[in-house]
Structure 1
Amino acid sequence: MYLDNLSVINFKSLTQVEVQFDTKINCFVGNNGQGKTNLLDAIYYLSMCKSYISSTDSQVLKHGEDFFVLQGKYNRNNTEENIYCGLKKGEGKVFKRNGKEYERLADHIGFLPVVMVSPIDGELVEGSGEQRRKYVNGVISQIDKVYLDEVIRYNRLLSQRNSLLKTYSKANFSYDLIEAIDIQLSEYAAVIHSKRKAFVEQLIGILQDYYNKVSGGQERVSIRYKSHLNDSSPDELFKNNIERDRVLQYTSVGIHRDDIVLLIDDYPIRTVGSQGQQKTFLIALKLAQFDFIAKVSGIKPILLLDDIFDKLDANRVHQLIDLVANDGFGQIFITDTNKHRLEEVLGKVSSGYRFFNVENGNFELVESK
């Protein structure tokens, strides 16, 4: 699968952009704030129906404008696919595939798999468990629509349960209603837990290999899945904690409290890993994610590498580019502020590429191979 061309109007800093891409490697070079990352985020948006970087749609709308439009022409399994996304203030967003509007945005997730590596991935190391749960949900949702539906239903019921718990001091508090919700929550939680556990187990087997290929180091890396359901059934958890939850006024146990621990030499990388080790770990994690999605879906995701070379030594940069330029990967988009670094790296790859200079939201093709 590859993205043939992209049209962008009023997306973040990009007023109007049209770019034709190489089927393999596409490089964008320019100073910070010129629009490189925004273009990659637009590609991510067309796959995932949301921004990788901005938390709300209002933040991706160019300042002073009341609409944005993204259009991409893809080749997926040798079939042309035209994807349209438009958003107008006060009217919500519309996604279309080949002119037909999706009834649910969730139905589009996974159709055009994508993996993005970005400086904000540091939140997977430094941030809360919520960041890591979002990561796990985002990966599994691209290859399992049942999982995505279960998470949506679980979160909806969880919100209802928390609203009921806030009435703990009132006479009309209903244990029967809580119990009815817990029965459904337990069903969804069991499915979600099982699929998260299977995902982490598969990722562990790939992660070490990619870490070694990028770093050439000897550290052992892994992931540990933390969940209340590892040691107890969901129905027991909810039942045993109902009084505590009434006091707290929220649901204190369940898969919404899950986390993954990122480990290097059996210690949390957050506390013992250097900046270089943490960045290498995150890159290896995303490449393992790519491998996982490709094997399950049968489609190689588009790989977006946004400004990832900082804090990597020259050897690791070369190792990474050599790795992703081979036939095991598909179409790749790379941004960097250092033109000479990318030129040197690309000079050693045999695959085709396009090289763009980016300035004030303008993308100029300067080299093609």
Structure 2
Amino acid sequence: MFQLNSIALLQFKNYTNRNFVFPEKVVAICGKNGVGKTNILDAIHYLCFTKSYFSSSDAVNVQQGAKGFRIDGNFTRNGNDENLVCILRENGKKEFSVNGELYDKFSKHIGLYPCVVIAPDDAVLITGGSEERRSFIDALISQLDPEYLKQLILYNKLLQQRNSFLKTAAERGALDESLLAVLDEQLIPAGNFLFNKRRDAMVAFLPKVKRLYTDIARREEPLSLLYESRLLEASFEELLQASRQKDIALQRTTLGVHRDDITLQLGSQPFKNIASQGQRKSLLFALKLTELEVLTQEKKFPPLLLLDDVFEKLDEDRISNLLAQVCGEKGGQVFITDTNRDRITQHMEAIHTPFHLIEL
């Protein structure tokens, strides 16, 4: 069992000092736009990932006029009651503790309290560039494998060092080949580790996404999903050697796992170019719900599912199908935001699922 029982927000976004309790497995948070529905979901994400889902800066989440925030959550996990606290101090330092024990590295927390978010801006997974889909892959595997996250952090650090070295060499007009070789030797093992983990994960993951997309769309479509990496064609060492002169000229590392992608196609054309709004939404749900399924299988309990304003562009049948799938007996705790109280109430009653309603 994995459930968030309550959360307390102090100087977090629009909440000065507010407590919420979550006695049911399904929690509906209703209210007009701008009243703070999404802010509750973001606070939950902070407790699961030590950071915001919607912004890269902690400072922007401090209530206007205040100098820090505190998020306090009480969970039940594997039969144990656990207290998680995230604090942003006045000096900008962030602290995170579980049952009073502070983390020395936030990365140690990732994967212990799994969570999946579906929000309107997630459409960039379908319409955006490769970075968005890479981040999605990384977030999934990092929740499953702590060593993956460790190697990802290392790779990004080494990549930044290599790029800085290339830029400095260009500015000085002199390149130390031996030092570049050392950087390559350090970068290659981390890159190979990430590639092998991604390749193996995607071999199992992408067919599941395709099957779920078909279920959601309720018809067969010529959808193609492929993991794309230049390391499928050659070793990382060979790629770095082949691109060395180009890297020197452009002052950055042009090949490597930091360029990996998932190619999405419908027939022979890019999915985003010809897919309808409904098809895009269906593929987004398929990706996210497959993530939910994989995490459930690996963790032996379902993650938290945060659904932020996902019903606005769905027809009634799709809403019912989605809720029936994620709010069933085998599902975990679900938090849903909606502007329409009657809509969410009618749908929850239709699938005979008890729920807790929070009106803001």
Same-fold status (TM-score > 0.5): yes
Aligned residues: 358
Given residue 141 of structure 1, which amino acid in structure 2 is its aligned partner?
A: S
By how many angstroms is 1:238 displaced? 0.8
The match for 1:11 is 12
- The answer to whether the 8 A contact 1:200-1:223 is kept is no
The match for 1:260 is 262
The match for 1:86 is 87
Across the aligned residues of Structure 1 and Structure 2, the Cα RMSD in angstroms comes to 1.4
The match for 2:245 is 243
Cα gap change, 1:310 to 1:266, in 2 (>3 Å):
farther
Measure, in 2, the Cα distance between the counterparts of 1:213 and 1:264: 16
The match for 1:176 is 178
The match for 1:186 is 188
- The answer to whether the 8 A contact 2:59-2:92 is kept is no
Measure, in 1, the Cα distance between the counterparts of 2:231 and 2:178: 23
Cα gap change, 1:297 to 1:215, in 2 (>3 Å):
same
- The answer to whether the 8 A contact 1:221-1:266 is kept is no
Measure, in 2, the Cα distance between the counterparts of 1:249 and 1:171: 12
The match for 1:319 is 321
SS at match of 1:18: strand
Q: How does 1:61-72 map to 2 (within 5 A)?
A: 61-72=62-73
Cα gap change, 1:169 to 1:20, in 2 (>3 Å):
closer
Cα gap change, 1:267 to 1:23, in 2 (>3 Å):
farther
SS at match of 2:351: coil
SS at match of 2:350: coil
Cα gap change, 1:253 to 1:320, in 2 (>3 Å):
same
Measure, in 1, the Cα distance between the counterparts of 2:234 and 2:114: 34
Cα gap change, 1:171 to 1:357, in 2 (>3 Å):
closer
What are the superposed Cα offsets for residues 302-340 of structure 1, whole Å, 9 maximum, x if unpaired? 000000012211111111111111122100000111222
Measure, in 1, the Cα distance between the counterparts of 2:218 and 2:243: 47
What are the superposed Cα offsets for residues 102-131 of structure 1, whole Å, 9 maximum, x if unpaired? 110000011100000000101112222111
Measure, in 1, the Cα distance between the counterparts of 2:237 and 2:29: 51
Q: How does 1:101-180 map to 2 (within 5 A)?
A: 101-166=102-167, 167-168=169-170, 170=172, 172-180=174-182
Task: Out of 147-156 and 337-346, give the one that drifted further.
Answer: 337-346
- Provide TM-score, normalisation by structure 1: 0.93
Measure, in 1, the Cα distance between the counterparts of 2:319 and 2:75: 29
1:279 pairs with 2:271: no
Cα gap change, 1:231 to 1:355, in 2 (>3 Å):
same
The match for 1:300 is 302
Task: Out of 106-115 and 82-91, give the one that drifted further.
Answer: 82-91
By how many angstroms is 1:263 displaced? 3.3
Cα gap change, 1:222 to 1:302, in 2 (>3 Å):
farther
- The answer to whether the 8 A contact 1:3-1:23 is kept is no
The match for 2:331 is 329
By how many angstroms is 1:349 displaced? 2.2
By how many angstroms is 1:220 displaced? 4.5
Measure, in 2, the Cα distance between the counterparts of 1:248 and 1:311: 43
Measure, in 1, the Cα distance between the counterparts of 2:64 and 2:171: 46
Q: How does 1:201-220 map to 2 (within 5 A)?
A: 201-220=203-222
Off by >4 Å, runs of 4+ in structure 1: none
SS at match of 1:72: strand
Given residue 318 of structure 2, which amino acid in structure 1 is its aligned partner?
A: R
- The answer to whether the 8 A contact 1:182-1:238 is kept is yes
Measure, in 1, the Cα distance between the counterparts of 2:68 and 2:331: 35
Task: Out of 96-105 and 340-349, give the one that drifted further.
Answer: 340-349
Higher share in helix: 2
- The answer to whether the 8 A contact 1:207-1:222 is kept is no
Q: What's the % identity of the aligned pairs?
A: 35
Given residue 158 of structure 1, which amino acid in structure 2 is its aligned partner?
A: L
- Provide TM-score, normalisation by structure 2: 0.96
Which structure 1 segments of 5+ residues have no match?
359-369
What are the superposed Cα offsets for residues 7-40 of structure 1, whole Å, 9 maximum, x if unpaired? 1111122222211103411001111111000100
By how many angstroms is 1:351 displaced? 2.9
What are the superposed Cα offsets for residues 254-290 of structure 1, whole Å, 9 maximum, x if unpaired? 1111111233446432111111110111011100000
Measure, in 2, the Cα distance between the counterparts of 1:314 and 1:100: 46
The match for 2:359 is 357
Measure, in 2, the Cα distance between the counterparts of 1:329 and 1:266: 36
Cα gap change, 1:171 to 1:266, in 2 (>3 Å):
closer
By how many angstroms is 1:223 displaced? 2.2
The match for 2:340 is 338
Measure, in 1, the Cα distance between the counterparts of 2:350 and 2:113: 29
Measure, in 1, the Cα distance between the counterparts of 2:321 and 2:268: 25
Measure, in 2, the Cα distance between the counterparts of 1:275 and 1:205: 22
